Amino acid sequence: MKNKEVQELEKKLTYKRESAWNSYNEKQKEKIFAFADKYKSFLDDGKTERECVEACIARLEKNGFVNAESKEQFAPGDRVYRSIRNKGLVAAVIGTEPVTDGMNILGAHIDSPHIDLKPTPLYEDGGLALMKTHYYGGIKKYQWSTMPLALHGIMYNSDGEKIRVNVGEDENDPVFMISELLVHLSQEQLARKASEAVKGEELNVLVGGMPIEDKEAKEGIKLAVLKLLNDKYGITEKDFMTAEIEMVPAYKAKDIGFDRSYVGAYGQDDRVCAYTSLAALMKVKNPERTCVCLFSDKEEVGSMGNSGAQSLLYENALIELIVKTSGSCSMWDFRKCMNHSHMLSSDVTAAFDPTYASAFDKSNTAYAGSGVCLLKYTGSRGKAGSNDAHSEFFNTVASVFAKEEIPWQTGELGRVDLGGGGTIAADMANKGMNVIDCGVPVLSMHAPFEVTSKADIYSTYEGFLAFLKKMKKDIEGLA
């Protein structure tokens, strides 16, 4: 064959991954950067599950959504939300078609790995006031030491008042940190396995060092810290027992790179998919099919509990959509609805990191900057715990993306048998709906500072919007 023919054949027959940036013109690039700025504010506003729910509700209410509690009935076009125990959220735009014909759902999680305080955290040792912690989710523990941390959460004082604590985010606030052994004396520590370089019980947070003005006081520094907390919040040491306090990185979301093409921030897994889902839902007006955002908690520890994706409270919120649009909901109505519902399990995936190339199969991994990633399956050790989307459904979603000219890619979470991970996809698919994983590739996932490409963030938003608007009840060929 002649050279030109071969080239044409190559173009016609082979798949070549391209940069998503090439799909966008200058005007669109401006939109991408503006979108990323709003996303960064969202991250800064909600660094815990609770705060993220509040950040979502604030944006939803500005966009005409009302608390589902305030309405007895829902009509087509209505915009409603329901908080799930203050740590999860379901929001919906009611469609003109019966809800029992199914919904188009975007399901993200809004918990992120972090460091929780223990029930009795405060102690004094070596002239330092410190707090004991128990980490949450899968982390490389050594990544969380020697960096500024902020403290977020709620406590109850002895009067039964709920108190919000937030220290370390304001520019004038002090911050906290987990100290680590100086390198000069680290010969033994550095010989440990990296997984034990910093151990769980070594994640102790420095919170004070100035003793109370009484030389006789036994633990004067601890007491001085307690006095400060009592003066400010009216709390005592005992009140930590019922509290929920999280330590999170104290810095704000930033642009990364000379070209500012990345967002660097804490908690992008999975708030990047929550934000893009939320933005897509808010863009939807008077849809045919009811469109839903379902944001769950506890994904990083197994999606259990009444705020995790397995909770019946999410089902209740979906049932409420049927009840308040049609007057009732039999078991069969709900099952029918699930049978015809489609969901993107909107969660992040690993982006290829050339420095650690051997962790990936280069031709089957997602790349930062190559667009929203659709993953047929996740899981580990032979796809365990994975949803494994049906080809018929995957192809339908891919066709919707292609029709809208959305740059998308696919991939696996790393090399076979190296590790792996799950999402809420399987939990939701168990209910009968069609589910596929879809989201933004992340560099340094679960690190205190995660990285995403702005092109991927935007194409994910575009993909989510297309999914909400274009997915129809029936999937061709899928009985």
**Residues at the contact surface with Mn ion, assessed by CB under 5 A:** 269-270, 347
Considering the complex, state which of residue 97 and residue 297 has its C-beta at the smaller distance from Mn ion: 297
Residue pair 82/290 in contact by the 8 Å Cβ criterion: no
Q: Do 427 and 303 contact (CB within 8 A), yes or no?
A: yes
Q: Which is nearer to Mn ion, 155 or 442 (CB)?
A: 442
Choice between 336 and 446, CB closer to Mn ion = 446
Question: Which segments of 44-197 are extended strands (E)?
Answer: 66-67, 79-84, 88-93, 103-109, 114-125, 128-136, 149-156, 162-167, 177-178
Nearest distance, CB of residue 168 and Mn ion, angstroms: 23
Q: Minimum Å distance from CB 287 to Mn ion?
A: 27
Burial 441-463 (b: 16+ CB within 10 A, else e): bbbbbbbbbbbbbbbbbbbbbbb
Would you say 444 or 459 has its CB closer to Mn ion? Answer: 444
Distance, CA of 153 to CA of 246 (rounded, Å): 6
Q: Would you call 28 helix, strand, or coil by DSSP?
A: helix
Instruction: Decide if 341 contacts 321 (C-beta within 8 A).
Output: no
240 vs 295, beta carbon nearer Mn ion? 295
Compute CA distances 465 → 1, 99, 292, 468, whole Å: 44, 19, 11, 5
* Count of Cβ atoms closer than 10 Å to residue 34 Cβ: 11
Least distance (Å) between residue 147 CB and Mn ion: 19
Tokens representing 219 are 């633990």
Indicate the residue among 320 and 347 with the shorter CB distance to Mn ion: 347
- Tell me the closest approach of the beta carbon of residue 138 to Mn ion, in angstroms: 7
Q: How far is the CB of 270 from Mn ion (least distance, A)?
A: 4
Closer CB to Mn ion, residue 78 or residue 347?
Answer: 347
Report which residue's Cβ sits closest to Mn ion. 270
Task: Provide, rounded to whole angstroms, the least separation between the CB of residue 47 and Mn ion.
Answer: 15
Least CB distance from residue 90 to Mn ion, whole Å? 18
